[in-house]
Structure 1
Amino acid sequence: MTPTEHGIALLNGGRFHEAFQQFGIAMRQQPLAVEPRIGLAQACEGMGDGWAATAWLSDACRVAPERAELWMELGKLLAQQQREPELEPLLRTALALHPRNPQLLHAQAELYLRSRLYAQALPVYERLYAVQPHDRAAALHYGFCLEQVGEVEQSVLRYREAIALDADFLEAHVDLAGVLWRVEDFDGALAHARKAAQLAPEHPYAVRILGTALLHMNRVGEAEAQLHRALELMPDFSLAEVDLAFTLLLAGKLKEGWEMYGRRWRDTDRMKRPPFWRPEQEWQGPALQPLEGKRIAVYAEQGLGDVIQFIRYAPLLQQQGCKVLAVVHPELAPLVELSMQGVDCPVGQRQLNVDYHVALLDLPKHCGTTLENIPTDVPYLRAPQDKVEHWRERLAPWHDKFKVGVAWSGSRAQVNNNNRAMRLSDLQPLLDAPGVQCFSLQKGDAGPFTDIAPGADRLVDLTGEWRDFTDSAAMIENLDLVITVDTAVAHLAGAMGKPVWVMLGPNADWRWLLERGDSPWYPTMRLFRRGQGEARVVQVG
């Protein structure tokens, strides 16, 4: 029996120290052989020395780079030791030698997926899917990565392919139901959600996705029941808690909705506190922590529209005798400071001298907001007068026209933008209307939604002259009407008390409630709701 054979026998018997000695003898006899190196790695692992095992296996890969299984084993060892910075270059090296090895491709794709590097994962899943077209998990994860980078239509195709490979693939039905609503296939989303719930009636994710699909169809009573059930199955299910909060708010049950929405902070993957946040300083409301003589920071947590909508609560806090600091987006800070006397907007500070801090979207809960007592004192945001005069002169060439500002897309990164956005061509009747001059309020790239180039005479674009929201507000102050989809522009016009028409998709956000043509948040706002499958074109009467 050779030392290598003896070492293998000792390994099989769990005698790792003796096996290590035999493989050491084999190495001295055959210094270029790979098997003793593998044996030494296994013996070290058996003795609990993972780092030494990794070193020996790495040496084995150096000696026999053609053996893909050695690279895989080395990758597993690195993953077990949580040495992921070393794992990624290792897999790249291994795949350069073995570009079609499915195990190596899978390992690299999963590494990127775990690290949420979805764009990097995509080409790897594409290669893996080409090598193993019948791998349902590869199709599922490929679709998930496509969804995360905004390639929604392509993700739908991959999820469907996963289901074609296995009609009862629970995760694929859940994920497909979770993405179809983004392309306005609400019936399809509900069908796949029902299938998921049928396959696993006690699975909280399956029950939750059924509730979510019903929510997107505005079937709030059924959605609420399913989401409550999902939380019975998994009481700390943060996704279901947030969906239930949105359902309650959409139904107008604001008190219950705010309370449930307060639980969103348990989802630490999605929700991030600011750097100055301290748990002992988070304000718990006036009953527990009166504000007289205190300093409190209200901080943004989400988008610009949310800040504009909920900054209305800052003066209510001031009325309780405190100093208010508003930590908002830098481009909003000047407008807030100019509009709200005594409110300061520190920018870029990691530490604040305050007694308390509170998230803006927790203020309705702490202030006991219901449909009957929403603060609606508008305008609460005002453009500086010098800029209003500047923009009056800037728009003077169109003084004899009815001036309409338009915005047709929100942020393309927002998951619901495909549903809420319009194509610019949908506004063509308005652009061509006699006596009307349209002005673009579209800040940023609207991508495919800017599908026509109407010409400067039909759509004047002066947004390049904006520096921050004081310019946006000053321009809007000089318009007769704002027509927009659900964007920050809608909130800004509403907060300024300007006439604003908001074009809503079939599954409008919770803040617009159900069926109403007005908004309890903004007295000068009108809501125009589009049903499922209806055209998005603006008609001019």
Structure 2
Amino acid sequence: MTPETLSAALNDIRQCIDSDQLEQAEAKARAALSSGTGPLDIWHLLAHALRRQGRIEEAKVIQEMLVQHLPHNVVLRFELAETLLLLGDFDSGWRQYRFRYDLPHTTNLKRTVQVPRWDGAPIAGKTLLIHDEQGFGDTLQFMRMIPWVKKHSQAHIILQISPDLLPFAQRLSGADKIIVRGQLPGPFDLHCEMMSLPMAMKLQITDLPGEIPYLHPDPLRLKEWRKKLASIRGPKIALVWAGRPTHTNDANRSMDLSRLAPLAAHNRDATFLSVQKGAKEEQAQTPPDGMKLVNLSGDIRDFDDTAAILALSDMLISVDSSPAHLAGAMGRPVWTMLPFVPDWRWLMNRPDTPWYPHMRLFRQPQRGNWDAVIADMAKSLPVFLNDQYQRKAAE
């Protein structure tokens, strides 16, 4: 294959992938590799096409081959990490996941620390800096490990965290000192990114979920929101229909509020509460016909407000988002809508998650098929609400 024909083949396959013509991309890649060998760039695109079709094991075999041939390519290692974790192979997955801040688009986020990364060994008498990472959902998910690290390491722990999540850290055990990003931590002997803690602690699925809840709402905010919501009778269902637009997979995980109309059609007694923030929160001003929606988005100042609303709601229905993690960490009922091939943390082919015992997962049966997800939720919602009513009546 000449450089010209290789370039043309790669462009052709990429265009198919970009336009979600994954079967065509696979066929073109296999044709170019019909001899059983061929350029690694085409194998790389074939792995992409297979993975996005949900053929994760097939993609993994190719990704492992690529890493074997190009061991210093951090992009390939990170892609393999996400596949391994999606398949539940935590041992290998966490080791590869450490390359997440060596990618071309993430190197500017990497924090250079001039002390060794903690390897999970007991370090009594030493000071360990644990610093959070960029995504709020990531931090909410992995804050559970701070008490575990304290118990195992016997270290003096400094926790550095986003100011948006500082109140939750202050209500969490395990850290001896808490600072926000930008503050100097003082002397420390070792460090560890929050999402490198699973690698250090050799986290397994069987270790999950740990103590639930591990995050708690502010009592004063609870009191405030209980008054605000006092006039709402009947079931209260919080809603989030879109994630952060800058997320690399946002097009596959977010939707418009109008698509959730069937939830209201089957549940006329329920009041839906918008806790949506960001670019699509204005959609709460014009809810679908028949949906009784109270728009709380403009009154939500921070995650403490969201936590209080979730604590007072019967449940949260959400796309893959930080409020979904918050509800799960608080032990609140939450239904999470997932694309056909989800983020690695949700694993594959199961309606539950080891991370959050009170979360139910609703997965697309085919790529882009949100209608089936919403129809399944609409059918299941009256059963859930009736169970909740009976449980409250028995208390």
TM-score range, shorter chain: 0.7 to 0.9
The answer to whether 1:387 aligns with 2:226 is no
The answer to whether 1:458 aligns with 2:292 is yes
Structure 1 residue 397: Cα displacement: 0.9
Q: Counterpart in 2 of 1:57? A: none
Question: Are the counterparts in 1 of residues 209 and 356 from structure 2 also a CA contact under 8 Å?
Answer: no
The answer to whether 1:220 aligns with 2:75 is no
Distance 1:456 1:529, change over 3 A: closer
Question: Are the counterparts in 1 of residues 252 and 368 from structure 2 also a CA contact under 8 Å?
Answer: no
- Higher helix fraction (1 or 2): 1
Q: Counterpart in 1 of 2:190? A: 356
Structure 1 residue 535: Cα displacement: 3.8
Give the distance between the partners of 1:292 and 1:179, measured in 2 at CA: 51
Q: Counterpart in 1 of 2:138? A: 306
The answer to whether 1:233 aligns with 2:69 is yes
Residue 351 of structure 1: SS of its match in structure 2? Answer: coil
Give the distance between the partners of 1:189 and 1:393, measured in 2 at CA: 56
Q: Superposition pairs for residues 38-437 of structure 1, below 5 Å?
A: 169-173=8-12, 175-176=14-15, 179-181=18-20, 185-191=21-27, 193-194=29-30, 201-267=37-103, 269-272=105-108, 277-286=112-121, 290-319=122-151, 320-340=153-173, 342=175, 344-349=177-182, 351-353=184-186, 354-398=188-232, 400-432=233-265, 433-437=267-271
- For residues 36-86 of structure 1, what are the alpha-carbon distances to aligned partners after superposition, in whole Å with 9 as ceiling and x for unaligned? xxxxxxxxxxxxxxxxxxxxxxxxxxxxxxxxxxxxxxxxxxxxxxxxxxx
Structure 1 residue 237: Cα displacement: 1.4
Distance 1:496 1:456, change over 3 A: farther
Higher relative contact order (CA 8 A, sep 6+): 2
Q: TM-score, normalised by structure 2?
A: 0.84
Distance 1:469 1:193, change over 3 A: farther
- For residues 15-39 of structure 1, what are the alpha-carbon distances to aligned partners after superposition, in whole Å with 9 as ceiling and x for unaligned? xxxxxxxxxxxxxxxxxxxxxxxxx
- For residues 117-174 of structure 1, what are the alpha-carbon distances to aligned partners after superposition, in whole Å with 9 as ceiling and x for unaligned? xxxxxxxxxxxxxxxxxxxxxxxxxxxxxxxxxxxxxxxxxxxxxxxx9896134135
Question: Are the counterparts in 2 of residues 250 and 511 from structure 1 also a CA contact under 8 Å?
Answer: yes
Question: Are the counterparts in 2 of residues 519 and 527 from structure 1 also a CA contact under 8 Å?
Answer: yes
Give the distance between the partners of 1:343 and 1:176, measured in 2 at CA: 52
Question: Are the counterparts in 2 of residues 331 and 468 from structure 1 also a CA contact under 8 Å?
Answer: yes
- Structure 1, unaligned stretches of length 5 or more? 1-164
Structure 1 residue 344: Cα displacement: 4.0
Q: Counterpart in 2 of 1:438? A: 272
Structure 1 residue 351: Cα displacement: 3.5
User: What is the alpha-carbon root mean square deviation over aligned residues?
Assistant: 2.8
Distance 1:312 1:391, change over 3 A: same
Distance 1:262 1:327, change over 3 A: same
Structure 1 residue 193: Cα displacement: 4.5
Give the distance between the partners of 1:511 and 1:206, measured in 2 at CA: 27
Q: Counterpart in 1 of 2:361? A: 527
Distance 1:410 1:189, change over 3 A: farther
- Structure 2, unaligned stretches of length 5 or more? 380-395
Question: How many residue pairs were aligned?
Answer: 369
Structure 1 residue 274: Cα displacement: 5.4
Give the distance between the partners of 2:59 and 2:108, measured in 1 at CA: 27
Give the distance between the partners of 1:166 and 1:345, measured in 2 at CA: 57
Give the distance between the partners of 2:36 and 2:14, measured in 1 at CA: 14
Structure 1 residue 430: Cα displacement: 1.8
Structure 1 residue 392: Cα displacement: 1.1
Give the distance between the partners of 1:167 and 1:368, measured in 2 at CA: 42
Give the distance between the partners of 1:264 and 1:197, measured in 2 at CA: 29
Distance 1:343 1:213, change over 3 A: farther
Q: Superposition pairs for residues 488-499 of structure 1, below 5 Å?
A: 488-499=322-333
Residue 169 of structure 1: SS of its match in structure 2? Answer: helix
Question: Are the counterparts in 2 of residues 401 and 435 from structure 1 also a CA contact under 8 Å?
Answer: yes
- For residues 426-447 of structure 1, what are the alpha-carbon distances to aligned partners after superposition, in whole Å with 9 as ceiling and x for unaligned? 1112234211000012111128
Q: TM-score, normalised by structure 1?
A: 0.63
Distance 1:345 1:171, change over 3 A: farther
| Rg comparison, structure with higher value | 1
Give the distance between the partners of 1:202 and 1:350, measured in 2 at CA: 51
Give the distance between the partners of 1:207 and 1:177, measured in 2 at CA: 15
Structure 1 residue 285: Cα displacement: 2.1
